[in-house]
Amino acid sequence: MKVFDKNINFDLLQDKNTKEDAVREEVIVPILKALGYSSFTENRIIRSKNLVRPDVHFGTVSKKIYMIPDYTIQVDGKNCFIIEAKNPRENILTGNNPEQAYSYAIHREIKVDKYVLCNGIDIVVFDVDQLEPVLKLQISELEKEWEKLYRMLSPIAFINPNFFNYKPDLGIRMLKLGVQPDKKHNFLNAKISDVAKIDEKYYSFSLGGAFFEGKECLGTFDFEKSLFDNFMSQVPQDKKGKVLFSLTKQPFKYDTKSEEESFGVSFSAVLSYKLEKGRDELFMPFLVEKFLNKN
């Protein structure tokens, strides 16, 4: 991932004349833009937001004292994290600086779980419920380690926290690793995670825990209505009624919530070579050619 200008000299960031504003402009702003934030989109950067410090009194006079986090980051109008910039000579792991950022994160006008500090040398992510940082990266190595930061602070990490837990798609993985187009694949007693009626012509089921070349994947398998009876013959007797009922009533889907609700199916299939778009990712389903006798 390209984040910084190709001519940036990270050694100069450690120069004694480097100030906090240089860290803001040359390091933090490019990082926020690369993550997908801007001042004028729904994934928004709010600079120097004034926060009233509670319960500040001088003698008998109450005065408003303002706390000002450098950046408050919002996704779809909701605060998600704050970032504090420090000069390269300041400690951002312990002491007053992370304590100050923590006070911003838990402020009643902010209330976020994550707070971030960056001094141009390192970027550190904290969680309000943990004492130690949850992530620490060197800025000079950030582009190589970009995925770690993106998984934690990108808009999609807050919109759909489970997005990065998805297993790779079995069909796409096979395609990338050069599986021949017409190769038939046999699956024996493979455990399904769900089965659904797609339309009047097709049904589809998914397999979790499908391994290919040592990598656990999620596979999607479509089959024609003409094979439905053959599919049902694979369903254990004690589950037939529930599966059939689920596939004939809205939302026309049988979901397994536990190992006990799952069951094995045996079948042969080929790659469809047709990319489909799910809610969060692309996948390539297989086409089931026939269900195999388990005996």
Query: 159 and 180 share a domain?
Result: no
Q: Given this model, what pLDDT does residue 175 score?
A: 83
Has residue 3 been placed in a domain? no
Taking CA atoms, 186 is separated from 152, 230, 264, 274, 286, in Å, by 38, 16, 13, 20, 11
* Cis upstream peptide for 168 (omega within 30°): no
Q: What SS3 class is residue 215?
A: strand
Looking at the structure, tell me whether residues 256 and 219 fall in a common domain: yes
Same domain, residue pair 192 and 141: no
Task: Please check whether residues 15 and 128 belong to one and the same domain.
Answer: yes
Segments of 76-184 assigned E as strands = 78-85, 114-118, 122-127, 135-138
CB 50 within 8 A of CB 66: yes
On whether both 150 and 286 belong to a single domain, the answer is no
Which tokens hold the place of 106? 């838990």
From the list 294, 265, 283, 272, the residue with the least C-alpha distance to 187 is: 265
Across the chain, which has 295 residues, the per-10-residue mean pLDDT values are: 79 76 90 93 83 47 58 94 93 92 87 94 94 94 93 90 72 82 88 93 88 80 97 94 93 86 93 78 90 79
pLDDT value for 66:
44
pLDDT for residue 61: 43
CATH number at residue 223: 2.40.50.140
Q: How far apart are CA 212 and CA 32, in angstroms?
A: 36
